[in-house]
Amino acid sequence: MAFFLETLIGGLLAGTLYSLVAIGFVLIYKASGVFNFAQGSMLLFAALTFVSLHDQGVPFALALLLTVGVMVIGALLIERLVLRPLVNRSQITLFMATLGLSFIIEGLAQGLMGSQVRALDLGIDDVPLFVHGVMLSQFDLIAAGAAVVLVVVLALLFNKTRIGVSLRAVADDTTAALSIGINLNRIWQIVWAVAGCVGLVAGLLWGARQGVQFSLSLVVLKALPVLIIGGFTSIGGAIVGGLIVGASENLAEVYIGPLIGGGITPWFAYVLALAFLYIRPAGLFGERAIERV
Amino acid sequence: MSVPVMSETAPWVLIERRLPWPLLGLLVLAFGVVPLVGNDYWLSAILIPFLVLSLAGLGLNLLTGYTGQTSVGAAGFMAVGAFATYGFLLRLPEVGLPLALLGGGIISGLVGLLFGLPSSRIKGFYLMVTTLAAQFFLEWLFVKFPWFYNYGSSGTISAPNLSLLGYDLNTPVGRYLLTLVTVLLLTWVARNLVNSQTGRNWMAIRDMDTAAAVIGIPVARYKRLAFAVSSFYLGIAGALWAFAYLGTASAGSFDINRSFQILFIIIIGGMGSIAGNFVGAAFICLLPILLSHLGQALLGGAVDAGQLQNLQKIIFGVLIILFLIKEPEGLIRLLSNTRERLRHWPLRF
Amino acid sequence: MSTLEPILQVRDVSLSFKGVKAINELSFDVRRGEICALIGPNGAGKSSLLNLLNGVYRFDSGEIVFEQQRFRRIDPLDAARRGIGRTFQNNALFKKMSVIDNLLTGLSRHMRSHFLEQALGLPRARREAEAFRLKAQHILQLLELQAVRDVPVGTLSYGRQKRVELGRALIAGPTLLLLDEPMAGMNAEEKQEMARFIADVNRDLGTTVVLIEHDMGVVMGLSDHVVVLDYGRKVGDGTPAEVQGNPEVIAAYLGAVH
């Protein structure tokens, strides 16, 4: 029983990291209808920037601040050079643009900062904790805690500040938002910057877990099943989806894996997502799209 | 957007195009000149991959460019074709190479059909996720189950015997001709399909599938057909990639980066076009070479191979975005526009 | 051209959406070969009626008799196969395809050849393709669209696009053509042109036409038969002249108290 709980909770905690990544997607998708394939590369870039600065001796807080600055500048550039020229184009076109963007960011990241694996030490020891006989990872708990804090901050941002309300207006009905004078370009810049920062947090946590390396950018591919299960437009959905994916992946690997040769983690989440697609296409919390002829 | 020509109403220009001199010239070049003149490097390292990637692009284009179903799983289906053809050549050598290739394609087509089943219920991104699932699942499959690569310890496959009617094709020229003939035949078939009612149905689904359904096109059936035919092409391309180009391949030769590469070919070359795939593939094949030569010329050989790759990545990314912004119909449209302008240019004098 | 049997009979048809009755026990006949206009204020149920006739919506009660066959429900594919064609209010054309390709998509459900035959260029596929092309040519001539035969439909003027849509509905040779506001968004000249084409189609091909239209001038000039709807009910049914003088119709348009 303890083992089952361990697996479950371990999966849930891992799932919070998935949720973190997924939240970045949801933000951008909600505000601009774009599925940002480059989120993973942004994650990688953020983590690499921070690590490079830190390795050069820049103190933790300053490095963090500088990295945030870099992500903000990046968001501005992306909005100006990629999003604005492609406004009103189809979702698939925008997605492909983010695919191209991911290549650019990755090329830059590895070109400027090298492609070796970098260890990232956030000062959190990964010691096992024993709670009621169940073994948990301290790191995972802290990561989950960070995710919770982030979500709370975002919730406050969206509900209490004027920017946040404008963002929700844009997500709800872009044309109406435009007609009351909301500056769409500004909103997109902000959203992408925020997503960049979320990516930074996620990148740091992931990086601390498995080292900052190129495969970090493939984390984006894991976010897709999360978004399908939770819905593309809901942060709550991203959280729930991440937890579901994390938990079921872990459980499946442990309990079903040995039956078919193991290593099912790469694709199990997708099969799960597919099943969800059949039952509930819009995701648990998503909005259904209606088409008119 | 190919349009059938009716001879009684076609103006002279179109009749002139009826006999495609440039195409005939290219064919003569391809069949007659190249095998005699081409050196092994050009054949093996440039022409063969160019042809195979064009075929792969063509396969993906049928699904994504003509039918509008975005897929990022192209390489997975290539893998199916490669391993299936390997299976035929290994276990049923009496069927011979052409049938083994065909068999590999058919099996790949069936697998594509299977993964295309959800397309009747889901579309857009969600469907793309299915293709991603296919990609990962198939990659995993061909690593995890040694039966596919005949229990070899390295997980790789290589063609046991590439021969046709007694001729050994395992030479650069032999492989080149095999690839050329296969690609040309399949391109001819694709052209027929695309110009036919099937092709029109596909394009209708791409442009507005709800309207297509209402006017009586069986949308679900045609989507599945697109998946099947596309995977058939990709399967054969995969087999050629493994045996005519690489020589030895494994599941890793068909990873997600390969899928992206094929997607790039059709974006840059032109979605919804047959010729565009060749243009795109040429671009993808030649750009790295161009870049490394440029790098050597400009920086005198002090360019790190890794950095070159990074630069290449950046350039590709920029190009993708540029094409999407400026010319969504790809290089093929740019080329035809240029040709139109050149045609009118003398008239300005 | 008209026999005495109505080609279409709507009998006590009702349709509600979440408790709101869009169509309320509606009955009327359409004679073969006539042009019948459906008019009424906005929201009167005209588009819903058209959707019912070609099976996009299912009616809750009543029945529809088409070509002496009774239907409790129609499937859109079935409706198309039986010879009911239609156009849509918002342009449902395939924007990236050429005019002739758009027309040809209208023949898809009549396709007999298999995709493999098409892929290999086998004789049956080629014969069929040729036959289809001839039909498209005929429509191009009838609707005077030859000049833009190979142009992508998305680049055409709105009026021309509507004409292409008409052509697409016509190419399969329907006996009944449902036109949903074929002249919406057109200027006077385009409307005249469209009216002329509809009249040509009706006269040359013998197609019965049921159309929704707001422009009274067009309706009175073009149609043989007018049915007036208001709040899902029929408030007028007769020739244009009869309907024009009907006080209920006038009240519906001028908004008397209901």
- Confidence band of B12 (pLDDT split at 50, 70, 90): very low
Task: Note the pLDDT tens digit of each residue in A198-251.
Answer: 888 888 887 777 777 666 667 777 788 888 888 887 888 888 888 888 888 888
Query: Can you point out the beta strands (E) in chain B?
Result: 156-158, 163-164, 167-168, 248-250
- Confidence band of B280 (pLDDT split at 50, 70, 90): very high
Chain C: nearest CA to B167, how far in angstroms? 28
CB contact under 8 A, A86 and B325: yes
Check residue C254 and give its pLDDT: 62
Task: Identify from A89, A92, A290, A293 which residue to disrupt to test chain C contact, counting C C-beta atoms within 10 A and taking the largest count.
Answer: A293
If contacts are CB pairs under 8 Å, which of residues 76-105 in chain C contact chain A?
Answer: 88, 90, 92
Interface size between B and C, measured as CB pairs under 8 A = 102
Establish if B161 belongs to a structural domain: yes
Separation between Cα atoms, residue B256 and residue C170, nearest integer Å: 46
Task: Identify from A103, A268, A279, A287 which residue to disrupt to test chain B contact, counting B C-beta atoms within 10 A and taking the largest count.
Answer: A103
Establish if B152 belongs to a structural domain: yes
As a whole number, mean pLDDT of residues A165-194 equals 80
| Chain A residue numbers touching B214 (CB-CB < 8 A) | 293
Bridge partners of residue A118, in order along the sequence: A212
Specify the residue for token string 């902000």: A190
Check residue B69 and give its pLDDT: 93
Check residue B228 and give its pLDDT: 97
Establish if B142 belongs to a structural domain: yes
Chain B: nearest CA to C213, how far in angstroms? 21
Bridge partners of residue C79, in order along the sequence: none
Task: Note the pLDDT tens digit of each residue in A89-101.
Answer: 777 788 889 989 9
Backbone phi, psi, residue C118, to 5°: -70, -40
- Using CB atoms, which residue from B211, B311, B325 is nearest to A293? B211
Check residue B15 and give its pLDDT: 44
Q: Check: CB of residue A220 under 8 Å from CB of residue A37.
A: yes
> pLDDT exceeding 90 applies to what percent of chain B?
39
Check residue C4 and give its pLDDT: 62
| Chain A residue numbers touching B140 (CB-CB < 8 A) | 263-264, 266-267
Task: Note the pLDDT tens digit of each residue in B87-105.
Answer: 998 888 888 889 999 999 9
As a whole number, mean pLDDT of residues B328-341 equals 82
As a whole number, mean pLDDT of residues C71-96 equals 83
Check residue B222 and give its pLDDT: 95
Tokens of C217: 């001038």
Read off the pTM: 0.85
Split into its structural domains, chain B has a count of 1
Q: Where are the alpha helices (DSSP H) in A114-180?
A: 138-160, 162-172, 174-179
> pLDDT exceeding 90 applies to what percent of chain A?
2
| Chain B residue numbers touching A97 (CB-CB < 8 A) | 320-321, 324-325
Separation between Cα atoms, residue B116 and residue B308, nearest integer Å: 37
Residue B281 pLDDT > 90, yes or no?
yes
Separation between Cα atoms, residue B260 and residue B262, nearest integer Å: 5
> pLDDT exceeding 70 applies to what percent of chain B?
91
Q: Does B4 touch chain C (CB under 8 A)?
A: yes
Establish if B343 belongs to a structural domain: no
Establish if B6 belongs to a structural domain: no
Tokens of A42: 């942004």
CB contact under 8 A, B311 and A95: no
Chain C: nearest CA to A293, how far in angstroms? 7
Range of the structural domain that residue B280 is part of? 23-334
Check residue A90 and give its pLDDT: 75
User: Which of the two residues, B161 and B320, has the higher pLDDT score?
Assistant: B320
- Confidence band of A4 (pLDDT split at 50, 70, 90): confident
Check residue A286 and give its pLDDT: 64
Task: Note the pLDDT tens digit of each residue in A262-276.
Answer: 667 767 888 888 788
Specify the residue for token string 């139109």: B340
Tokens of C191: 């409307």
Check residue B147 and give its pLDDT: 84
Tokens of B312: 């290449």
Over chain C, what is the mean pLDDT? 86
Check residue A287 and give its pLDDT: 62
As a whole number, mean pLDDT of residues C48-75 equals 83
CB contact under 8 A, C101 and B3: yes
User: Which of the two residues, B187 and C75, has the higher pLDDT score?
Assistant: B187
| Chain B residue numbers touching A245 (CB-CB < 8 A) | none
- Confidence band of B2 (pLDDT split at 50, 70, 90): very low
| Chain A residue numbers touching C92 (CB-CB < 8 A) | 293
Amino acid, res. B87: G
Tokens of B12: 């002279």
Angle, helix B74-91 to helix B219-240, in steps of 10 degrees: 60
Per-residue buried b or exposed e for B274-305, using 16+ beta carbons within 10 Å of the residue's own CB = bbbbbbbbbbbbeeeeebbeebeeeeeeebee
Burial class (CB in 10 A: 0-12, 13-18, 19+), A56: exposed
Establish if B339 belongs to a structural domain: no
Separation between Cα atoms, residue A235 and residue A240, nearest integer Å: 9
Residue A19 pLDDT > 90, yes or no?
no
Q: Does A133 touch chain B (CB under 8 A)?
A: no
Say which range, A185-189, B200-204, C224-228, has the weakest mean pLDDT. A185-189
As a whole number, mean pLDDT of residues C159-169 equals 91
As a whole number, mean pLDDT of residues C113-128 equals 91
If contacts are CB pairs under 8 Å, which of residues 34-93 in chain C contact chain B?
Answer: 56, 76-77, 80-81, 88, 92-93
Chain A: nearest CA to C81, how far in angstroms? 20
Task: Note the pLDDT tens digit of each residue in B37-80.
Answer: 777 787 888 889 999 999 999 999 999 999 999 999 999 999 99
Residues 6+ apart with CB under 8 A from B24: none
Establish if B129 belongs to a structural domain: yes
Nearest CA in chain B to C100: B3
User: Which of the two residues, B347 and C119, has the higher pLDDT score?
Assistant: C119
Over chain B, what is the mean pLDDT? 85
CB contact under 8 A, B215 and C137: no
Check residue B158 and give its pLDDT: 85
Residue C85 pLDDT > 60, yes or no?
yes
Separation between Cα atoms, residue B221 and residue C179, nearest integer Å: 28
Residue C1 pLDDT > 50, yes or no?
no
Residue A188 pLDDT > 70, yes or no?
yes
Separation between Cα atoms, residue B88 and residue A175, nearest integer Å: 58
Nearest CA in chain C to A292: C90
- Confidence band of C231 (pLDDT split at 50, 70, 90): confident
Establish if B307 belongs to a structural domain: yes
| Chain C residue numbers touching B200 (CB-CB < 8 A) | 97, 101, 104-105, 108
Assign residue B227 the CATH number of its domain. 1.10.3470
Chain A: nearest CA to C7, how far in angstroms? 27
CB contact under 8 A, A92 and B263: no
Task: Note the pLDDT tens digit of each residue in B123-170.
Answer: 877 788 789 888 988 988 898 888 888 888 788 888 777 777 777 778
Bridge partners of residue C14, in order along the sequence: C61
Tokens of B83: 């391993």
**A10: closest CA among A144, A202, A123?**
A144
Check residue C175 and give its pLDDT: 92
Residue B110 pLDDT > 90, yes or no?
yes
Nearest CA in chain A to C91: A293
Tokens of C104: 């040809």
Per-residue buried b or exposed e for A187-202, using 16+ beta carbons within 10 Å of the residue's own CB = bbbbbbbbbbbbbbbb
Nearest CA in chain B to A269: B133
Task: Note the pLDDT tens digit of each residue in B186-195.
Answer: 999 999 999 9
Q: Does B136 touch chain A (CB under 8 A)?
A: yes
Chains that touch C (3 or more CB pairs under 8 A): A, B
ipTM of the complex: 0.83
Task: Note the pLDDT tens digit of each residue in A118-177.
Answer: 777 776 666 777 777 677 777 777 878 888 888 888 878 777 787 778 877 776 776 777
Separation between Cα atoms, residue A231 and residue A278, nearest integer Å: 14
Residues 6+ apart with CB under 8 A from B41: none
| Chain B residue numbers touching A293 (CB-CB < 8 A) | 208, 210-211, 214
3-state secondary structure chain C: CCCCCEEEEEEEEEEEECCEEEEEEEEEEEECCCEEEEECCCCCCHHHHHHHHCCCCCCCEEEEEECCEEECCCCHHHHHHHCEEECCCCCCCCCCCEHHHHHHHCCHHHCCCCHHHHHCCCHHHHHHHHHHHHHHHHHHHHCCCHHHCCCEHHHCCHHHHHHHHHHHHHCCCCCEEEEECCCCCCCHHHHHHHHHHHHHHHHHHCCEEEEECCCHHHHHHHCCEEEEEECCEEEEEECHHHHHCCHHHHHHHHCCCC
Task: Identify from B200, B201, B209 which residue to disrupt to test chain C contact, counting C C-beta atoms within 10 A and taking the largest count.
Answer: B200
